[in-house]
Structure 1
């Protein structure tokens, strides 16, 4: 098998690719379901998606013990196919694809949910997704200030230093920092709520991206109860989003990402807005196809066997 196609797509281009798919009429409620397979090392995910032009499948591994070994927690590969013939077009690094598309999905939502002048981001986590979210959100929000909340001081300080190198006023802090936030983003492996949802200001937006399991959540029922709620798809959220399931959220209280992008969803600014994502296969396909088209000269020379 050939080496993967390099992922050179910019955050702005990834956001645009996702928005374009939704504006072209994709209904996330009808997309194929992800297969989750428990294995001794953790979990294997099989994520297929297709349009008339392209099809693709990501095989991802979630290995919780990997970080202690100095290895990525998320592994995998993405195979992009021609939509009409299902012939292989390109192979992409699945972990790199996930690291780009996840914050790009958050950015699609937050550029519509964040209040004007959103400057202070409180970021829970200091791993790859924290860096990815910082990079992508800077492209769509007028961020000037960052507070990093993380379990380990070393990774938190390194993320602060990185943010400072980008020109942000950055520091570490505790969960109470959400009381002064304009935006809160949770990208952790937490199984229980990270902060008191009563502290979040009415003008703020909160996004949680860290889990896709009914038993895990990063935000509490207090926040979910206060907030206007947005998801990638209602069908998926009520099957996988522990933040919403454990809070007893009903389908009719959720707006999906397509409705948000097309302007059908109501966005109030007198209470927090909460966006919960679990990751869907159409997102991987949209970003993979955009990368393929960006590097078509190289992609056309690839053969995958």
Structure 2
């Protein structure tokens, strides 16, 4: 514990200022430092009239924390975010509160960062064409995060509503990418495919995906919902955040009957314990894990206190999250 941290009390809401690369590095650091993703605390999900409440606790090194998130499917129609919530960051040794963070903003940062971390290892070194399904906040975050780690040149947006699809295409174009709105057949010419939708049935024909492509499916955490079909799951080399989590929540794999023995976890991928094959598609299925929120929240906390100290090397309040 940092000297005096337990007595300094809870900070006002800590603003998220990390960029996507910093978030990717925080996640990578946690894995390289030996985090056992297969034995992290489970997420609790409670059905409520408006949707679902999620409780996500974690502890890594000098920090602990918990996210309370709401998933409210009707919110977007009312102009409200689908994902709500708050994150409470705690001092690891004493469990004294340190800071509050906007849970929705944290989710919007860490989810694309997890995808980018995986795709950096799974995509080809010259991956230039991204096809993104969806046009909500996660789609915007994924375009930015994937561009931060891959040499993208072109983005094709596939979405149900023309207005949001065009808005995302304009966002991609504003960062110098060749961007257009297209249909699901665009996957046939994709180097990278990212699915971040609320779909419960497959978005495209998995037979169209080139052998050299990497696909990330991030939109659901329910065993009876999926964005990719059994054709793609059957063809692809499979990667997950953790096998223990995938067997409970990864509907894309569960509904396709994918054997757990085929699944490589994110730690094995990042630490070099897995051989990535390029003779078939690579599919990364994520559902979200509590350690990811904590790694990014702790990195933000450390960055804030380094800034306060005026030093790039840390301060009495700063400590590693891993």
Asked if these proteins are the same fold (TM beyond 0.5), I'd say yes
Q: Report the equivalent of 2:225.
A: 216
Q: Distance between the aligned counterparts of 2:37 and 2:160, measured in 1?
A: 34
**CA–CA distance in structure 2, aligned partners of residues 52 and 17 of structure 1:** 13
Picking from 72, 90, 102, the partner of 1:63 is 72
Counterpart selection for 1:36 from 33, 45, 48: 45
| Alpha-carbon separation, structure 2, partners of 1:73 and 1:88 | 27
Count of residue pairs the alignment pairs up: 300
Instruction: After the TM superposition, list the runs of 4 or more consecutive aligned residues in structure 1 that deviate by more than 2 angstroms.
Output: 297-300
Deviations 1:212-248 (A, max 9, x none): 0001000000000000000000010011000000010
Deviations 1:148-187 (A, max 9, x none): 0000000000111111111100000000000000000000
Matched with 2:4 is none
In structure 1, how many angstroms separate the alpha carbons of the residues matched to 2:18 and 2:115?
A: 17
Q: Distance in 2 between matches of 1:34 and 1:291?
A: 22
Q: Tell me the distance in 2 between the aligned counterparts of 1:52 and 1:10.
A: 23
**CA distance, structure 2, for counterparts of residue 10 and residue 69 of structure 1:** 29
Unaligned residue ranges in structure 1 (runs of 5+): 301-305
- Residue from 129, 133, 156 that aligns with 1:124: 133
Asked if 1:141 corresponds to 2:150, the answer is yes
Displacement of 1:14: 0.2
Give CA-to-partner distance per residue, 1:68-100, whole Å, 9 cap, x none: 000000000000000010000100000000000
Q: CA RMSD in A?
A: 1.2
Determine whether 1:254 maps to 2:263: yes
Other-structure match for 1:86: 95
Aligned-pair CA distance for 1:52: 3.1
Gaps (5+ residues) in structure 2?
1-9, 310-316, 318-322
The equivalent of 2:300 in structure 1 is 291
TM-score computed with the length of structure 2 as normaliser: 0.92
Report the CA distance between 1:4 and its aligned residue: 1.5
Residue aligned with 2:149, SS: coil
CA contact (8 A) 2:11 2:98 kept: no
What is the TM-score of this pair, normalised by structure 1?
A: 0.97
